[in-house]
Amino acid sequence: MNTQAPRPLLGMGKTELEQWAQAQGQPAFRGRQLHDWLYAKGAHRLDQITVLPAQWRQQLAASVPPALLDWTGRSRELHRAVAADGTTKLLLATADDLSIETVGIPTADRLTVCVSSQVGCPMACRFCATGKGGLQRSLELHEIVDQVLSVREVMGTRPSHVVFMGMGEPLLNLDAVLAAIACLCGDLGMAQRQITVSTVGVPQTLPRLAELALERLGRAQFTLAVSLHAPDQQLREELIPTAHAYPIEALLDDCRRYVAITGRRVSFEYILLGGLNDQPRHAEALARLLRGFQSHVNLIAYNPIAEEEFQRPSPQAVEGFRRALVDRHVAVSVRASRGLDADAACGQLRRRLTASAAPGAA
C-alpha cells in the first residue's frame, strides 16, 4: 500500500481526497468521508474519523511523515488570549515547532478571522510587532486554512469573513494565499467577497495578483487592501523601510492596473500615529494623492507595541482626519479597535510568549 501523500490532507478538495483514498487502496467514497470530517467536523487526527476502517486508520497513524503532526495537517494550540470584547487570539504550533498567530474578531452579526501568511515578516514596518523578528518562512496551504478551522472550533461559530492581515506579507506567499482562498471558497463554502488580502506593497506584484486570481480562481472578487500609512514617499519610508524600493507613485500605478484588470476597487489602509501622520495636512495630502481613484480608505488607530515610541492618536484627531477626507469626497471608514487588552497587534502575543520562554527570562 502506498502511504506517501504528496502533502497534508487539509487543503485538498473533494476530488483530490477521493484520488488519495484510492491510492491507499480504498474506495473513492472514503475520500468524501475525509472531506466531510476535515472541513465540516474539523478533525485533528485520522484516528478521530471513526467512519474509516480501524485497520486503515492504524496503518496511516503508523506512517505519518516526520514533517507532519498528523496526515490531516492540523496544528496544536499553544496559547489562547481572550479580550473583554470577545476578541480571541490563538498562538498555534506548526509541525516544525514554529508559532503563528490568528485572531477571531466577533461582532453582533459576523465573525472575522485574521490569518497569517508567513512566520514573521520581512517588511520591517516600524509600527508592527511581527516585523521586529524578521521572516522565518512562508506558511503552506494547510497552515493557513487550519487557522480558520481553529478559530471556528474555539469560538463555536462559523467564520463569516477572513482577512489576510496577520503575520507576514501575503504577496510574498502568493501561491499559498491563492490556494487558501480557493479552499476557503470551495471547501468551506465562503464567498470571495468575504475575503480581504492586505499588502504593504511588493514591486510589480499587484498586476500579477490580478492575473493569477483570474487564472486560478476564475474571478477576483476578494478585497485588496493596500497599506499606505503615509501620504508621501518620505514619511512612508520612515515608517516602512522597504518602501524605498517602491515609490508611492509606482505603487498607485500598480493599483490602477489591478483595478483595470479586475474591475474591483482598492481599499487603502492608513494607521494613524499620534502627532506623526494624523494631522489635517496629512489628510489633505492623502485626498490629493487618491484623487480620481476608485478606492476606499480604512483608518486604523495605532495599537502601541514595545520597542517603539509611537503614540495612539486621540479620538479628536481620528475624527478630524476622517472629516477632512469626507469633506474632500474620499470614501472613508474607521476600524473599531478590538482586543486591546489581549496583545491584539500582529505579533505581540508571539513575541511576548517567546521572550518569556527564553532562558533567563524574568
pLDDT, one tens digit per residue, over 26-51 is 999 999 999 999 999 999 999 899 99
Place of cell 485520522: 46
Helix (H) or strand (E) holding 80: strand 76-82
pLDDT at position 243 over 60? yes
Q: Given pLDDT bands bounded at 50, 70 and 90, which one contains residue 69?
A: confident
Q: Which three cell numbers stand for residue 165?
A: 492581515
Report the alpha-carbon distance of residue 74 to residue 149 in Å, rounded.
Answer: 9
Contact residues for 222 (Cβ-Cβ < 8 A; gap 6+):
181, 192, 193, 195, 196, 197, 213
Q: What are the φ/ψ torsions at residue 346 (nearest 5 degrees)?
A: -55, 130
Nearest alpha-carbon partner for 102 in 180, 171, 38, 40 = 180
DSSP 3-state assignment of 75? coil
What average pLDDT does range 134-146 have in this prediction?
97
- Say what the pLDDT of residue 37 is: 98
Question: Which of 114, 185, 255, 346 is the catalytic position?
Answer: 346
Are the C-beta atoms of 256 and 293 separated by less than 8 Å? Answer: yes
- The full set of domains in the chain, from first to last, is 1-73 (1.10.150.530), 76-357 (3.20.20.70)
Q: Is the pTM of this model over 0.85?
A: yes
pLDDT in tens, 261-298: 999 999 999 999 999 999 999 999 999 999 988 889 99
* pLDDT at residue 201 tops 70: yes
In the residue annotation, 238 being an active-site residue is answered as: no
Per-residue model confidence (pLDDT) at position 348:
56
Q: Residue 119 forms beta bridges with which residues?
A: 137
Mean pLDDT of 235-256: 96
Which SS3 state, helix, strand or coil, does residue 156 take?
coil
Q: pLDDT confidence of 4, banded at 50, 70, 90?
A: very low
18, 101, 143, 169: the active-site residue: 101
CA angle (63 as vertex; 59, 69 as ends), nearest 5: 120
User: Is 346 designated active site?
Assistant: yes
149 grid coordinates: 478551522
Q: Is the pLDDT of residue 350 over 50?
A: yes
Q: Find the helix packing angle between 174-186 and 141-155, rounded to 10°.
A: 50
